[in-house]
C-alpha cells in the first residue's frame, strides 16, 4: 500500500503540471521530492497537494521570503500550519514565489524573478509565449500555482490584500480569514497586527476544506484567539443569519469601494454577480463606510512602521546573508556594520518601506503619523461594526438589527496588469489597495471569488463580521454557483 | 547608626565592613550577578555624614535606575531556562531568543508574579492594565534589533523604600518588566566580539527612583548592582542643575565612586565663569575611578518606541494582587526586625547573617537551629562556622553540616559533654569531612567527649603534671593559689583540651593537698 501511494505522488497530476508549467510561470521556487505519507488512517487532506508561500517556515526546505537576505535560510522548526497539514496527510509539494517579505502587489520584487500569470485568452499563440501579465502580489506564486493546476491548494499570507488580489488576477478563490484564527507561529512577520495566513484553491469547497484543518487555537501564537471566543462568534453569526439561506441574506454594497478608477472590465461582472444573488432572493442594500478614504494612509503608516521593526532582526549575525564590512570601514558603530548586510540583502521596495516606517516611529513623527493612524484604524473598525448585523464579539459593540450579513465589492480595480509596464510601481499600485486594506485594518474575514467566465479573471470580495468566516464562505459558494 | 561623623580620609581608609542589603535583592531577586561579588568595603551604612566639609554650599541630587534579573526558571517571553554564571555559552537559547524568523513572544506569567511581589515589597500601586513596547536600536547583544520593555505603561508606579539614616523614604517612580540582552565579550587581541545568548530574553525589572537621594552614602544604603545613576549638583538654595547619566555601574563601590567623581566634576564646571554642565550620558572607568563622556544630548538615540503588536495588554486583577500579597516571603526588613527583637541579636550579627544569606539560606538555617538551643552557645558556633567557611572561600550554600548536626553540637557544648575548644575542633572536622553521623557519635569516635576520660585517666594526668612541675606544685602548697592555673594548663595541653577543666582543677587541688 505504501509503495503504491509513493508512486501515486510521483506521477500525480499536480507534480506533472509543475514539471510542465513551472518553467513558464515561476510559481514554485522549490519543489519537494515526493514523500510517503506517514499517516495511515483516515485524514482530511490525505495526499492532497498543497503549496506553501515561501514566508512559511519548513524544516525540510529553505524559507527565503523571496529575499537575498534569507536565500539559503533553513528554519529549525515547522510552522504550526505546516504541522497541521502534515498531520492531516497533505502532500506538501513545495515553496511558492512571492514579493520580498510580503511587500508588493505584483510579485515582481523577488530574488527568484517575477511570477507570470498562467492565464491566457483563447488564442493561437502557444501558451509558453502568452501575453505576460502579473499574477498579483504579494502571494503571486500561490495563486498562479493553483490556477495552473500545480497544486490543489496553496497557503499564502495576507497583510493588506496579498491573498485576495492575486486570487482575483489569477481567477482562483482566495480567503483572508479573521485575524487570530490561523496560527502565525512560523510565519515570517511583515506587520504582526495585520498579517494573516491565507488559503487559496480552485473553488470555495477546496478552500474551506483546507481552512477547516488550520482553523484552531495555537498557544504558541499570542494573538491566536481562544476556542471560547471562536464559538461565541459562531453563535452570533447564527443569531444574525439563522437559516443560512439566500432568502434571508442581507448584502451591503459599500459605495466607497466603487472608485472612478474601476475599469468596466471589472464593473460589469461584479454588477452581474450582485444582481444574480438578488434574483435568487438576497436583499441588497447600499451602505457607507465613511472612513474608507483614510484607510489607505493609515494602512501604509502602520504596516511600514511594523515592518521597519520586524526587519530590524536581519543583521546577518545569527542567520541569513552576511556581508563583511570592506577594509577601511567604520567598525565602531554597530549600525554601520550591519548596513553592509542590510543594504545588499533587502530589495528596493523593502528598503523603501523600512525607511518610511522608521520615520513614522521617530519621536517627532510618532504622534502625527503612527498614533493618528491607530485612531483612523479604530474609526475603520467602528464603520464596519455599524453596518453589520452580527455583533463584534471582540469588543462590546452592540448588534445592529438593520445591518447586513456581508459586504460585496470588487477585489481589484482592473484585471491583471501587463508585466512590462510595471517597472516603476508609483502611486498607482498603491491605490489598488484601497479595496483590500480596510478588511485588513479591521481584522475581518474576506474572500475573493472569481466571477468572470470569459476573459481575464475578475474577483468579487465578500467581507463579513469578525469570526464569521463560515458565513463568508457560504456566500462565496452561492456566488460560485451563479 | 552611631551618629558620629568621620573625617574623609578615615572614611576612605576605613576597615572592611559588609554592606547591609536593605534592598529587596536578597530574597526576591537573584541577588548579585556574581555570587562572590558583593562589596566588602566602602559601603558605609547608617553613618550620617556632615556634607559641609566635602562640598560646602552645594546640594547633590541623585536618582538611580536598577536592572535586577528575576529569579525565574524560564525567560520572560520564551520557555528556555535561565542560566547561572559559568554555564556553557549558547546552551539555553530558543529560536525566539535568537530572533529567528517566524517566532513570537509568549509572556511567562511566573515572571509577572515575581514582578508583582517586587512591586508589593516596594509599596507600589500595581497598574490594572500595563503594556509592552519595543525599544529599537542596533547592537550585537540585541538579536531582534529591539528590546521588549514597558515604556508607556509599566506594571507598577509610585512606591517607596525606607533606608537607614534618613527619615523620608526614597520614592520609587516605576517598576517595569523588560528583556535582558545577550552577553557580549570583546577580545582586544583578535578584535572580535563573542556573543552568548544564554542571557538574551531573561526577565528583568527596571526599578526607577525619583531623584530623592542626596549623597553617595544614601545611594549606597539604597544599594544596587547593575544600575544607571543620574547626578546633578546645584548651589544650595538655587534651582537644580543639569543632570548627567552614568551608565552600567555594576557594584555599590563603583556607583559611589562614580557619584563622587561626578559631583567634583560638575562643581568644577559650574564654578568657572559662565560655567555650565552639558547634558551627557557618561560611562565609568573602573581603573581610574572617573566618569567619561559616552555621548552628548545631540547624539542621544531615538529609540522609536512602538507598542508591541503581539502582546496586547497585561491585565492584573485585584484577586491576583490579593493572592500575591498572601504568598509573599518575609521581606528583608521584617526579618531584620525579627532577628533583632525576638532573638536579641546584635546589629553586627544580623549584618553577618544577611550577608551570608545572599549565598543561600543562612537566616533559615539559623531559624531552624534557634528552636533547638540557647542563643549564646549557638552564636559561638555560627561565628566559628562562618569563619571557617570564609577561610575556605565557601558560601553558606556550601555548608555541609545539617541543622540537626549543628544543633546537637551546640547542645554538647552547652551541657558540658565537650569543651568549647573541642567543639571548635569537631566543627572543623565536620566541615572538612562531612558525613551522616550524629554529632555525638562523631565526638565519641574522636574521643572528644568529656565523659570518655574516666576518673583514673584524669587522676593520672594530674599526677603526671604535678610530677613534671615540682616548683609550681611546691609554690601552690605554700599558698600561691594562682600557680594552679599553670599546672592546670599543662593537664589541658596533655589531654589536648579534652579534659573537663573543672574536674581537673578539683583533682589537682585534692592531689596537691594530699602530699
* CA B498 from centre of chain: 38
**DSSP percent split of chain B into helix, strand, coil, nearest 5:** 40, 20, 40
CA B351 to mean position of chain CA atoms: 9
Query: B174 - beta bridge partners?
Result: B157, B208
Q: Is B302 on the interface with A (CB under 8 A)?
A: yes
On the question of pLDDT at B16 being above 50, the answer is: no
Tell me whether residue B289 is exposed, middle or buried, using C-beta atoms within 10 angstroms of its C-beta: 0 to 12, 13 to 18, 19 or more. Answer: middle
**Any CB–CB contact under 8 A between B144 and chain A?**
yes
Nearest CA distance, A329 vs chain B (angstrom): 14
Q: Which residue has the cell 603534671?
A: B465
What pLDDT, on the 0 to 100 scale, is given for residue B30?
33
Q: Which residues in B lie closer than 8 A to residue A363 (C-beta atoms)?
A: 302, 304
Angle, helices B375-391 vs B420-432, to 10°: value is 40
Q: What is the mean pLDDT of chain B?
A: 82
pLDDT in tens, B202-228: 999 999 999 999 999 999 989 777 899
Q: Is the pLDDT of residue B359 over 80?
A: no
What's the pTM? 0.83
What φ, ψ does residue B119 adopt, rounded to 5°?
-60, -40
Residue B515 has pLDDT above 80, yes or no: no
The pLDDT of B326-330, averaged and rounded, is 88
Separation of alpha carbons A161 and A379, rounded Å: 20
Which CA distances in Å does A229 have to A401, A404, A443, B309? 22, 22, 15, 20
B187-213 core/surface letters (b: 16 or more CB in 10 A; e: else): eeeeeeeebbbbbbbbbbbbbbbebbb
Size of interface A-B (CB pairs under 8 A): 97
pLDDT band at B401 (very low <50, low <70, confident <90, very high): confident
Show residues of chain A in contact with B143, CB under 8 Å: 313, 315, 317-318
Do A313 and B139 lie within an 8 Å CB cutoff?
no
Is B302 in Cβ contact with A362 (below 8 Å)? yes
Q: Dig out the grid coordinates for B82 from the structure.
A: 535561565
Q: What is the pLDDT of residues B141-170, one digit of tens each?
A: 999 999 999 999 999 999 999 988 888 999
Integer Cα distance of B160 and B168 in angstroms: 9
Helices (H), A58-195: 80-87, 140-147, 164-170
Chosen for mutation from A73, A334, A355, A369 (greatest number of chain B CBs closer than 10 Å) is: A334
Please report, to the nearest 10 degrees, the dihedral formed by the alpha carbons of residues A323, A325, A330, A335 taken in order. 10
- The rounded distance, in Å, linking the Cα atoms of A169 and A118 is 10
Cβ neighbours of A75 in B, within 8 Å: 95, 100-102
Between B69 and B428, the higher pLDDT residue: B69
Contacts of A477 (CB under 8 A, 6+ apart): A204, A205
Residue A202 is among the residues annotated as catalytic for this protein: no
Q: Are A223 and A59 in contact (CB under 8 A)?
A: no
Strand, coil or helix: B302: coil
Residues of A in contact with B139 (CB under 8 A): 334
Cβ contacts of B195 on chain A, cutoff 8 Å:
317
Those residues with Cβ within 8 angstroms of residue A253's Cβ, 6 or more apart along the chain or in another chain:
A274, A284, A285, A286, A287, A407, A408, A409
Q: What is the DSSP string of B225-262?
A: SSEEEEEEEEETTSPP---EEEEEE-SHHHHHHHHHHH
For residue A217 the three cell numbers come to 487555537
Q: What does the DSSP assignment read for B387-429?
A: HHHHHTT--GGG----HHHHHHHHHHHHTTSS-HHHHHHHHHH
Judge whether B140 is closer than 8 Å to chain A, CB to CB. Answer: yes
Helix orientation angle between B484-494 and B455-468, rounded to the nearest 10 degrees: 120
Test A222 with B304 for CB contact under 8 angstroms.
no
Q: Which residues of chain A have pLDDT under 70?
A: 1-11, 36-40, 421-429
Residue B368 corresponds to which cell in the numbers above?
531552624
In angstroms, the CA A13 to CA B144 distance is 43
Residue of B95, B309, B310, B312 to mutate, interface with A, max A Cβ within 10 Å: B309
* Number of neighbours of residue B114 by Cβ within 10 angstroms: 22
Which string of b and e fits A230-252 if b means at least 16 CB within 10 Å?
A: bebbbebbeebbeeeebeebbbb
Q: Measured between CA atoms, how close is A311 to chain B, in angstroms?
A: 8
A219: annotated active-site residue? no
Q: What is the arithmetic mean of pLDDT over B279-291? A: 93
Contacts of B310 in chain A (CB under 8 A): 192, 222-223
B153 min Cα distance to partner chain A (Å): 15
Spell out a b/e string for A144-170, using b for 16 or more CB atoms within 10 Å of the CB, else e: bbbbbbbbbbbbbbbbbbbbbbbbbbb
What sign has the CA pseudo-torsion B142, B146, B151, B153?
negative
Closest CA to A459 of A67, A124, A115, A143: A143
Residues from A in contact with B at Cβ < 8 Å:
56-57, 63, 65, 70, 73, 75-77, 79, 184-189, 191-193, 219-223, 305-306, 309, 311-313, 315, 317-319, 334-335, 338, 358, 361-363, 366, 370
**Chain A residues with beta carbon closer than 8 angstroms to that of B98:** 318-319
Cell of A76: 529549525
The average confidence (pLDDT) of chain A is 94
Q: What does the alpha-carbon distance between residue B366 and residue B399 come to, in Å, rounded to a whole number?
A: 13
Helix (H) / strand (E) containing A136: none
Q: For residue A124, what are the contacts with CB-CB under 8 A and spacing of at least 6?
A: none
Q: At A415, is the secondary structure helix, strand, or coil?
A: coil
Check B306 against A309: CB less than 8 A apart.
yes
Give yes or no for a contact between A443 and A151, defined as CB atoms under 8 angstroms apart.
Answer: no
Shortest CA distance from A76: residue in chain B: B95
| Contact criterion met (CB below 8 Å) for B255 and B273 | no
First-to-last alpha carbon distance for chain A, in angstroms, is 41
| B328 contact partners, CB below 8 Å, separation of at least 6 | B117, B120, B121
Sign of CA dihedral B497, B500, B505, B508: negative
Give the pLDDT score at A423: 55
Per-residue model confidence (pLDDT) at position A307: 98
Judged against a pLDDT cut of 50, whether residue B36 lies above it is answered with no
Give the alpha-carbon dihedral of A86, A92, A95, A96, to 10 degrees: -110
| The C-alpha cell that represents A32 in the structure block | 519537494
Which string of DSSP letters, residue by residue, matches A371-399? Answer: IHHHHHHHHHHHHHHHHBSS--TTS-PPP
Cβ burial, residue A84 (10 Å; 0-12/13-18/19+): buried
Distance, C-alpha B124 to centroid of its chain: 23
**Considering A138, A139, A304, A308, which one is annotated as catalytic?**
A138
Measured CA to CA, the distance from residue A102 to residue A123 in angstroms comes to: 33
Q: Which three cell numbers stand for residue A308?
A: 521597519
- pLDDT-derived band at B32 (thresholds 50, 70, 90) equals very low
* Residues of B whose CB is below 8 A from A365: none
pLDDT value for A6: 57
Q: What is the pLDDT of residue A78?
A: 98
Query: Does the CA dihedral B154-B159-B164-B167 come out positive or negative?
Result: positive
d(CA A36, CA A151): 17
Q: Is the pLDDT of residue B50 over 50?
A: no
**Among partner residues A77, A309, A318, which is closest to B136 by beta-carbon distance?**
A309
Is ipTM over 0.90?
yes
Structural contact between residues A475 and A449, judged by C-beta atoms closer than 8 angstroms: no
* Cβ-based neighbours of A299, under 8 Å, separated by 6 or more: A160, A194, A373, A433, A437, A440, A441
- On whether the CB atoms of residues B1 and B46 are closer than 8 A, the answer is yes
Q: Does B446 touch chain A (CB under 8 A)?
A: no
Does residue A414 have a cis bond before it (omega within 30 degrees)?
no
CA distance A251 to A240: 13
Chain B closest-CA separation from residue A381 CA (Å): 17
Question: C-alpha distances in angstroms, A61 versus A64, A215, A394, A413?
Answer: 9, 24, 37, 36
Ranked by mean pLDDT, the top range of B8-12, B395-399, B437-441 is B437-441
Query: How would DSSP label each residue in B432-495?
Result: HS--S--HHHHHHHTT--GGGS-HHHHHHHHHHHHHH-HHHHHHHHTT-GGGHHHHHHHHHHHT
Residue tagged 547619566 (cell numbers): B245
A289–chain B nearest CA distance, Å: 25
Chain A nearest C-alpha distance from B326 (Å): 29
Q: Is B143 in contact with A318 (Cβ distance < 8 A)?
A: yes
CA–CA distance, A145 with A140 (Å, rounded to integer): 8
Q: Give the per-residue pLDDT at B6.
A: 39
Query: Using alpha carbons only, what angle is made at residue A124 by residues A122 and A130, rounded to the nearest 5 degrees?
Result: 75
**Annotated catalytic, A162?**
yes
Is pLDDT above 50 for B49? no
Is A363 close to B309, i.e. CB distance below 8 A?
A: no
Tell how far CA A313 is from the center of its chain: 23
d(CA A359, CA A287): 36
What one-character DSSP code corresponds to residue B308?
A: -
Amino acid at each position: 500500500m505504501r509503495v503504491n501511494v509513493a508512486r501515486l505522488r510521483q506521477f500525480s497530476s499536480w507534480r506533472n503540471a509543475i514539471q510542465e508549467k513551472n518553467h513558464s510561470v515561476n510559481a514554485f521556487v522549490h519543489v519537494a521530492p515526493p514523500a510517503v505519507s506517514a499517516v495511515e488512517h483516515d485524514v482530511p487532506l490525505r495526499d492532497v497537494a498543497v503549496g506553501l508561500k515561501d514566508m512559511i517556515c519548513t524544516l525540510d526546505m529553505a524559507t527565503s521570503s523571496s529575499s537575498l537576505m534569507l536565500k539559503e535560510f533553513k528554519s529549525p522548526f515547522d510552522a504550526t500550519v505546516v504541522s497541521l497539514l502534515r498531520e492531516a496527510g497533505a502532500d506538501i509539494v513545495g515553496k511558492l514565489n512571492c514579493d520580498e517579505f510580503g511587500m508588493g502587489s505584483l510579485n515582481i520584487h523577488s530574488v527568484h524573478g517575477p511570477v507570470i500569470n498562467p492565464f491566457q485568452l483563447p488564442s493561437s499563440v502557444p501558451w509558453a509565449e502568452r501575453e505576460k501579465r502579473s499574477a498579483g502580489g504579494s502571494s503571486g506564486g500561490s495563486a498562479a500555482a493553483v490556477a495552473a493546476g500545480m497544486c490543489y491548494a496553496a497557503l499564502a499570507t495576507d497583510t493588506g490584500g496579498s491573498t485576495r488580489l492575486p486570487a482575483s488576477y489569477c481567477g482562483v478563490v482566495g480567503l483572508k480569514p479573521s485575524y487570530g484564527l490561523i496560527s502565525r507561529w512560523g510565519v515570517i512577520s511583515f506587520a504582526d497586527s495585520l498579517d494573516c495566513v491565507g488559503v487559496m484553491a480552485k473553488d470555495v469547497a477546496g478552500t474551506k476544506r483546507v481552512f477547516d484543518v488550520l482553523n484552531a487555537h495555537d498557544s504558541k501564537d499570542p494573538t491566536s484567539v481562544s476556542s471560547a471566543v471562536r464559538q461565541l462568534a459562531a453563535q452570533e453569526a447564527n443569531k444574525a443569519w439563522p437559516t443560512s439561506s439566500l432568502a434571508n441574506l442581507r448584502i451591503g454594497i459599500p459605495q466607497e469601494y466603487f472608485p472612478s478608477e474601476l475599469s468596466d472590465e471589472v464593473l460589469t461582472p461584479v454588477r452581474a454577480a450582485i444582481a444574480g444573488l438578488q434574483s435568487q432572493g438576497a436583499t441588497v442594500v447600499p451602505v457607507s463606510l465613511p472612513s474608507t478614504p483614510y484607510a489607505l494612509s493609515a494602512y501604509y503608516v502602520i504596516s511600514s512602521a511594523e515592518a521597519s521593526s520586524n526587519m530590524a532582526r536581519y543583521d546577518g549575525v545569527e542567520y541569513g546573508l552576511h556581508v563583511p564590512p570592506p577594509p577601511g570601514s567604520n567598525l565602531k558603530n554597530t549600525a554601520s556594520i550591519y548596513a553592509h548586510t542590510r543594504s545588499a540583502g533587502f530589495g528596493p521596495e523593502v528598503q523603501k518601506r523600512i525607511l518610511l516606517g522608521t520615520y513614522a516611529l521617530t519621536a517627532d513623527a510618532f504622534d502625527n503619523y503612527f498614533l493618528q493612524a491607530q485612531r483612523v484604524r479604530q474609526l475603520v473598525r467602528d464603520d464596519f461594526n455599524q453596518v453589520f448585523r452580527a455583533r463584534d464579539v471582540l469588543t462590546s459593540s452592540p448588534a445592529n438589527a438593520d445591518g447586513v450579513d456581508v459586504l460585496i465589492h470588487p477585489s481589484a480595480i482592473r484585471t491583471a496588469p501587463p508585466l512590462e509596464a510595471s517597472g516603476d510601481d508609483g502611486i498607482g499600485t498603491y491605490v489598488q489597495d484601497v479595496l483590500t486594506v480596510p478588511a485588513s485594518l479591521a481584522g475581518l474575514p474576506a474572500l475573493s471569488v472569481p466571477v468572470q467566465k470569459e476573459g481575464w479573471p475578475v474577483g468579487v470580495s465578500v467581507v463579513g463580521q469578525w469570526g464569521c468566516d463560515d458565513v463568508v464562505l457560504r456566500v462565496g459558494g452561492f456566488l460560485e454557483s451563479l | 547608626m552611631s551618629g558620629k561623623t568621620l573625617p574623609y580620609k578615615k572614611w576612605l581608609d576605613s576597615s572592611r565592613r559588609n554592606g547591609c542589603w536593605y534592598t529587596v535583592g536578597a530574597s526576591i531577586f537573584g541577588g548579585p550577578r556574581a555570587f562572590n561579588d558583593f562589596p566588602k568595603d566602602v559601603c558605609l551604612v547608617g553613618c550620617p555624614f556632615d556634607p559641609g566639609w566635602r562640598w560646602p554650599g552645594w546640594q547633590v541630587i541623585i536618582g538611580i535606575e536598577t536592572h535586577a534579573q528575576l529569579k525565574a526558571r524560564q525567560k520572560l517571553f520564551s520557555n528556555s531556562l535561565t542560566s547561572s554564571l559559568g554555564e556553557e555559552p549558547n546552551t539555553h537559547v530558543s529560536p525566539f531568543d535568537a530572533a529567528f524568523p517566524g517566532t513570537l513572544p509568549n509572556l511567562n506569567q511566573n515572571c509577572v508574579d515575581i514582578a508583582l511581589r517586587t512591586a508589593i515589597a516596594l509599596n507600589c500601586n500595581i497598574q490594572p492594565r500595563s503594556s509592552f513596547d519595543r525599544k529599537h536600536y542596533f547592537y550585537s547583544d540585541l538579536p531582534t534589533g529591539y528590546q521588549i520593555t514597558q515604556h508607556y505603561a509599566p506594571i507598577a508606579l509610585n512606591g517607596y523604600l525606607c533606608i537607614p539614616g534618613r527619615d523620608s523614604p526614597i520614592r520609587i517612580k516605576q517598576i517595569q518588566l523588560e528583556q535582558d540582552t545577550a552577553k557580549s565579550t570583546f577580545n582586544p587581541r583578535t578584535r572580535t566580539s563573542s556573543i552568548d545568548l544564554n542571557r538574551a530574553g531573561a526577565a528583568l525589572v527596571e526599578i526607577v527612583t525619583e531623584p530623592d537621594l542626596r549623597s553617595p552614602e544614601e545611594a549606597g544604603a539604597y544599594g544596587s548592582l547593575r544600575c544607571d545613576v543620574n547626578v546633578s549638583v546645584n548651589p544650595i538654595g538655587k534651582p537644580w542643575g543639569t543632570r548627567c547619566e552614568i551608565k552600567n555601574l555594576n557594584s555599590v563601590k563603583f556607583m559611589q565612586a562614580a557619584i563622587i567623581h561626578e559631583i567634583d566634576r560638575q562643581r568644577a564646571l559650574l564654578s568657572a565663569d559662565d560655567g555650565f554642565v552639558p547634558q551627557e550620558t557618561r560611562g565609568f572607568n573602573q581603573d581610574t575611578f572617573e566618569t567619561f563622556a559616552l555621548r552628548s544630548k545631540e547624539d542621544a538615540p531615538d529609540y522609536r518606541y512602538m507598542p508591541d503588536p503581539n502582546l496586547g495588554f497585561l491585565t492584573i486583577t485585584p484577586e491576583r494582587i490579593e493572592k500575591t500579597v498572601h504568598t509573599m516571603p518575609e521581606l528583608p526588613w521584617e526579618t531584620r526586625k525579627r532577628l533583632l527583637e525576638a532573638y536579641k541579636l546584635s546589629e553586627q550579627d544580623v549584618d553577618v547573617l544577611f550577608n551570608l544569606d545572599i549565598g543561600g539560606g543562612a537566616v533559615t538555617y539559623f531559624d531552624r537551629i534557634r528552636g533547638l538551643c540557647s542563643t549564646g552557645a549557638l552564636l559561638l558556633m555560627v561565628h566559628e562556622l562562618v569563619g571557617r567557611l570564609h577561610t575556605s572561600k565557601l558560601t553558606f550554600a556550601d555548608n555541609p553540616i545539617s541543622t540537626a548536626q549543628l544543633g546537637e553540637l551546640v547542645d554538647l557544648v552547652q551541657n558540658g559533654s565537650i569543651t568549647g575548644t573541642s567543639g571548635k575542633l569537631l566543627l572543623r572536622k565536620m566541615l572538612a569531612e562531612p558525613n551522616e553521623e550524629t554529632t555525638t557519635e562523631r565526638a565519641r569516635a574522636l574521643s572528644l567527649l568529656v565523659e570518655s576520660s574516666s576518673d583514673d585517666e584524669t587522676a593520672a594526668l594530674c599526677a603526671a603534671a604535678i610530677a613534671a612541675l615540682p616548683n609550681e606544685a611546691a609554690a601552690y602548697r605554700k599558698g600561691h593559689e594562682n600557680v594552679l592555673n599553670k599546672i592546670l594548663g599543662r593537664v589541658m595541653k596533655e589531654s589536648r583540651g579534652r579534659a573537663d577543666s573543672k574536674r581537673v582543677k578539683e583533682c589537682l587541688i585534692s592531689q596537691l593537698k594530699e602530699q
